Each structure stands twice: as structure tokens, then as C-alpha cells.
Amino acid sequence: MIKITDTFSLVKNLYNSGTFNLERWKEYADGIHFGLADMLLSDMNEYIATGKYTFEKDFLPIINNVCTNNKLGTLHDSFVKVTDNLNQKVVCRFGKELDVHIILYLGLCNAAGWVTSLSGRVTVLLGVEKILELNWQDINSMRGLIYHELGHVYQMQHGILERESSDSRSNFVWQLFTEGVAMYFEQALVGDLNYYHQDINGWNDWCREHLPQIKRDFNSDLDSMTQFNQRYFGDWCDYCGKGDVGYYLGAEFVHHLLKTHSFDDMINYDIEKVYELYCEFTAL
């Protein structure tokens, strides 16, 4: 079953006169689940350690924005509406239940949505600070965000989500594939296979028009791609002035596979099989 935890009523208590209080936040995060604060701090500090980011310049302004943002209430209303009767919606479309805990919380810019595990239970963390930064508080964007994360959970519980190879090319192709699976899951629940919650200011049209170039560039980048220089997965990445382009490419990859493969079969493929199918896809 899907369990929902909503910490919206606690968020404004994490600020002193509009300024984020980190110590108060640590108590709040560990109140949600003990050890959560350290996990989120560690994730943030990985990026700070690269030297490209600082807490004061890149994280704190986004977190402080939450306290006075007049769209926070809209975000919460959207969350409540999207999560209502959510388990039944998944079962009606895919025929299988999910065992997952969804938590709406204030994070440290870790992600708008993050699938992780807390005490052995699959958990989806939804960070209000990133959702507001991305302007995803409306019900359509919230629906897309939550459905996308549940797509990862579906692959984890009814297929295999974690695959790893000694070849970094294969690992990034696997990431492309899993994001494509989640995009398809999102689109199927929405009922529109051309739906992208990232579609703002012509994003979808631009990606469609530039798909051959995106394929070539992603493939060319694979040999030198790392977590910190990749330009395809994340709103903070910049591919020709666009973010999240890897999600579009991944969805196109999965749509291509669905012409000849079933969804429940493909989410059980091993990493070598997916890489082989990716090579066929990019050779078209």
C-alpha cells in the first residue's frame, strides 16, 4: 500500500524571521525518520565538495524562499489532491500495488523527488524547496512529479531498478533507461503519452525537433560522462540551454522499445541487454 506523510504544517517553524534555522531543521528531519538529516546533509555536501557550489550562495536562497513564497499553499493543495486514492489509480492502470512511503518535506535542495529507502521501506521524498524553485506546485506538475517517482518504485518492486556495470557507458545508458521507464509510467497514469511535466516555454517541441542531435551528443558524451559533468539529468544541468533533456531521450528510448517489448518484460532486462537495445535505438 501507499503511505502518505505530510509535514506541511511544520515547515514554517523551521525559520527565524524568514531565515532558515539549520539546527531546528535537523531535529525536524530526524523527527520524520532518525538519520534522515545526516543522509540529506551528506548528499548536499557531496556537491559542495566539488568546489562548484556553496551553501550560502546555491542552497540557502532556495530554502529561504519557501518561508515567504505565496505558492506554498498551492503546492500543498496539489499534493493532497494528487495523493488522494493514489493506490487505486496505480492498480487500475498497471494491475499491481506499490509498497511505498511518500513524504512531503523541506529538504536541502536534494531533489524535487528522490526515491530512497528508510528502515528498509521504499520512500519517495518530495522536497518543497525544489518544487517551488522549479515552479512545479500546480496540480499537473505535482501529478507528473509524483507519478514519475512512483515509476521508479514500480521498476524496483516489479522489475529490477538497480543494475551496475564496470563500464561507465553502460551505467549511464541504464540511467537513461530507468528515467525513460519512469517517464512512461508517469505518462500512462496521466493518460497522455506526449505528456512531460517539464514542458515549459516550448521544452517538448524543442526536444522533439532536436532529437537526432540529442541522440548524437548523449552518445558522444558517454566516454567522458560523470555524475558531476553530465548535462542531461537534472534541472540544474544545461544542454543547449535546456534542462532535463535526458528525460525526453529516455522516454523516446522506452517508447521505441514498447513497439516490440512488453513493459513488464523490459523492466526485468539486464544492463547488457539494455545497452544492446540502446545501440539499436541510437543507430536508427
Structure confidence by residue, pLDDT tens digits, 186-229:
999 999 999 998 888 899 999 999 999 999 999 999 999 988 88
Q: E strand or H helix at 15, and its extent?
A: strand 15-16
**In this structure, what C-alpha cell is assigned to residue 272?**
547488457
For 29, residues 6+ apart whose C-beta sits below 8 A from its C-beta are 36, 37, 40, 105
Q: What does the pLDDT look like over 222-280, one tens digit per residue?
A: 999 988 889 999 877 899 999 899 999 999 999 999 999 999 999 999 999 999 999 99
Instruction: Give the mean pLDDT of 123-147.
Output: 94
Q: What does the pLDDT look like over 14-39, one tens digit per residue?
A: 999 989 999 999 999 999 999 999 99
Asked if residues 137 and 78 have their Cβ atoms less than 8 Å apart, the reply is: yes
Q: E strand or H helix at 150, and its extent?
A: helix 139-158
Residues 219 and 176: their CA atoms lie apart, in Å, by 11
Residues 55 and 189 in one domain: no
Residues 126 and 180 in one domain: no
129, 158, 187 - which closes a domain: 158
Residues 227 and 120 in one domain: no
In the chain, what is the greatest distance between 2 CA atoms, to the nearest angstrom?
Answer: 58
Residues 17 and 154 in one domain: yes
Residues 202 and 259 in one domain: yes
Instruction: Give the mean pLDDT of 149-168.
Output: 91
pTM: predicted TM-score of the whole model, two decimal places: 0.82
Asked if residues 179 and 237 have their Cβ atoms less than 8 Å apart, the reply is: no
Residues 21 and 142 in one domain: yes
Structural domains counted in the chain: 2
Residues 252 and 205 in one domain: yes
Residues 173 and 141 in one domain: no
For 237, residues 6+ apart whose C-beta sits below 8 A from its C-beta are 230, 231, 243, 244, 245
Which SS3 state, helix, strand or coil, does residue 17 take? coil
Q: How far apart, in Å, are the Cα atoms of 280 and each of 54, 247, 275?
A: 41, 19, 9
Domain that holds residue 70: 2-158
User: From the DSSP assignment, how many helices (H) and strands (E) are in the chain?
Assistant: 13, 6
In a domain, 106, yes or no: yes
Instruction: Give the mean pLDDT of 162-182.
Output: 92
Residues 152 and 230 in one domain: no
Looking at the predicted structure, is the pLDDT value of residue 59 above 90? yes
In a domain, 163, yes or no: no
127, 158, 189 - which closes a domain: 158
Residues 21 and 96 in one domain: yes
Residues 219 and 200 in one domain: yes
Residues 213 and 128 in one domain: no
In a domain, 41, yes or no: yes
Pairing relationship of beta strands 15-16 and 2-6 according to DSSP bridges: unpaired
